[in-house]
Amino acid sequence: MSQIHAKSPKHCANKQGLAVDKLKFNKKLFYTFSTFLLSLSALIFLIWLVLHPSKPQFSLKEADIYQLNLSGPHLLNSSIQATLLSNNPNKKVGIYYDILQVYASYKGQQITLDTSLPPFYQAHEESNLLSASLVGNGLPVAPSFGYEVGRDQSAGNLLLNLKANGRLRWRVGTWVSGRYRFNVNCIAIMPFGPSLPTGPLSTKQGTQCSITL
């Protein structure tokens, strides 16, 4: 004789009730998680709008060439003094300069070694003067280097690029960002006539520099 198992209406009702409660809990959990994500995204976007930092600004205040001569067919000796002005235009964001290296280039050729400046912190809306002594001894240059310098001398002006690159971090209150790479390019135009000056080739005409971040 086979046995017949019958479930009471009360048992079925309890099972259906558990399923409904579980579905309600899952929906509530989903809505809570979605609301949290939307709120977090809106907060991050608002902070980005308010505190999105502007790039630092650099300008060339002065550059002096004390030595720029060939010691061999394609070997260059150079000595250049450069002064840059760094400005933080942000009202609420400070800048940590962890790495800052400066060098000079001419016609796309690097004509000094990299000079590292000490790390420093720049508060909001603060400016700092940065001085660098740039030198190169026996640096290899292109065969056309002497010709290019002679052509600039005939034209009456020597065009030099003072460049900087490094890593910086943003600071907002106690929060500090990760490192960002940046590059600075300043153009110095120096009077350079047929007769060589008794002192260094100089420019004291401040020029704004371009920066990529």
pLDDT band at 14 (very low <50, low <70, confident <90, very high): low
pLDDT at residue 22, as a whole number: 63
3-class DSSP string for 99-143: EEEEEEEECCEECCCCEECCCEEECCCCEEEEEEEEEEEEEECCC
**Confidence band (pLDDT; 50, 70, 90) for 19?**
low
Cα maximum dimension of the chain: 126
Distance CA 93, CA 205 (A): 30
pLDDT at residue 51, as a whole number: 60
- pLDDT of 96 reads 97
Q: How large a percentage of the chain has pLDDT more than 70? A: 80
- Domain spans of the chain? 14-51, 57-212
Asked if pLDDT for residue 153 goes beyond 50, the answer is yes
pLDDT at 45: 56
- State pTM to two decimals: 0.75
Tell me the pLDDT tens digit for each residue of 164-201.
999 999 998 888 888 999 999 999 999 887 765 666 88
62 vs 202: CA distance, rounded Å? 7
CA nearest to 202, candidates 66, 107, 59: 66
* Higher pLDDT, residue 14 or 208: 208
DSSP one-letter code for 24: H
More confident residue, 146 or 128: 128
d(CA 174, CA 98): 17
Q: What angle do CA 118, 123, 124 make, to 5 degrees?
A: 140
Q: What is the model's pLDDT at position 27? A: 73
pLDDT tens-digit readout, 41-91: 666 655 655 567 899 999 999 999 999 888 878 899 999 999 999 999 998
On average, the pLDDT of the chain sits at: 85
| Residue for token pair 């450069």 | 82
pLDDT bin (cut points 50, 70, 90) of residue 2 is very low
More confident residue, 199 or 39: 39
CA distance 27 to 199: 81
Whose structure tokens read 């790390």?
Answer: 119
* Domain spanning 57-212, CATH architecture: Sandwich (2.60)
Among residues 71, 59, 80, 88, the alpha carbon closest in space to that of 205 is found at 59
How large is the average pLDDT for residues 94-102?
A: 97
Nearest of 21, 15, 84, 36 to residue 56 by alpha carbon: 84
